[in-house]
Amino acid sequence: MLYLVRMTVSPPYGMPPEEFERLKNQEKEVGIRLQREGVWKHLWRVAGAYANVSIFEVDSPEQLHAAIGSLPFFPFLSVEATPLVAHPSSINPADNPALKEEMA
């Protein structure tokens, strides 16, 4: 199942730069791992903002929460997850599995 996830980062003022840098690298590592696992399907930046828009593909909301909760930046994120479903007008089999059945 898919989720549209919007994460806005509020970097806390006062954190030593090197610590923030360390967290940022960890954040990147975790993000890459989740993408490799196919959980974090799309990751884009919102142009101009310290925020990202992502599509998560997971088997359950638990998996979604575990993924996002594992992010080192989690305490500085405000996150909104919107559950998505296939749209009957979508002709993209990847987004509209029903089409695959029709084509099968």
* Residues lying near a copy of itself in the complex (CB under 8 A): 1-5, 11-15, 27-28, 31-32, 35-36, 41-50, 52-53, 55, 60-62, 64-65, 68-69, 74-92, 95
Shortest distance, CB of residue 44 to a copy of itself, whole angstroms?
Answer: 4
Give just the sign of the alpha carbon dihedral 73, 75, 77, 79: positive
Shortest distance, CB of residue 102 to a copy of itself, whole angstroms?
Answer: 14
Q: Which is closer to a copy of itself, CB of 85 or CB of 103? A: 85
| Side chain identity at residue 62, one-letter code | E
Which residue bears the tokens 């559950």?
Answer: 83
Q: Which is closer to a copy of itself, CB of 88 or CB of 104? A: 88
Shortest distance, CB of residue 3 to a copy of itself, whole angstroms?
Answer: 7
* Closest alpha carbon to 27 in 82, 68, 80: 68
Q: Are 54 and 7 in contact (CB under 8 A)?
A: yes
